[in-house]
Structure 1
């Protein structure tokens, strides 16, 4: 159980960190996503900051489990919001979203299973 928890948490943290970096540096892919979802570019730094906080929170969860649980919950909610943004504009390209969402849900589930609810 511990190995699965650590592996999935580190993987989710890496995914969130890479996504945060692309948003914070203004890479073309997040810009295309913002255009497709009809969201303003001014949201990019905010979204990148949320992803970066989630990534760091997952890692901090190894020392303080409640932080990891809160970070994983925040990432799950973030990606639910991303799904809503996709569906709002009629986008059905959800493979990338699904990878991030499933990884975040798995991190939350494994963290709760390993540490308990509180």
Structure 2
């Protein structure tokens, strides 16, 4: 993996890890955005926080065993496609929606750099 690829992957690990832990801890600043998207607060622990945190751990494991990282990146891309769809369905185009798009782009970039050339 190139230096740029490693940097993108490390940033994705940190961002998804922080986001997952924030969801697991029901971090107050994210609650309003979840409510706007009609996401029940009970979903923050499972599936949202659990899947984001597992994805970050999978990306980290992928640094040693690339197939795990590729699988984690695919899972995170699918997760954030669903997150963007959820915001669109709820007509919520707030900052949370923009963050979901940013995370989707970050995870697509991570998938691209982790694929073998």
Tell me whether the two structures share a fold, i.e. TM-score over 0.5: yes
Between stretches 83-92 and 27-36, larger displacement belongs to: 27-36
Structure 2 residue 77 is the aligned partner of structure 1 residue 57: no
Partner of 1:103: 106
1:2-17 aligned within 5 A: 2-17=2-17
- Counterpart position of 2:38: 38
- Give the secondary-structure state (helix, strand or coil) at the position aligned to 1:99: helix
Q: TM-score, normalization: structure 1?
A: 0.91
Does 38-47 or 50-59 show the bigger shift?
38-47
The total of aligned residue pairs comes to 114
Segments of structure 1 that go 5 or more residues without pairing to the other structure are none
Cα RMSD between the aligned structures?
1.2
Residue in structure 1 matched with residue 72 of structure 2 by the alignment:
71
1:72 Cα offset (Å) = 0.3
- In the alignment, the residues of structure 1 paired with residue 92 and residue 39 of structure 2 have an alpha-carbon distance, to the nearest angstrom, of 14
Encode CA deviations 1:4-37: one digit per residue, 9 max, x unaligned.
1110000001000110111111111221122111
Moved over 3 A (4+): none
TM-score (ref. length: structure 2): 0.91
CA distance in 1 between partners of 2:105 and 2:40 (Å): 26
Give the Å deviation of 1:98.
2.1
2:23 and 2:81 mapped to 1: Cα distance? 18
Unaligned runs of 5+ residues in structure 2 are none
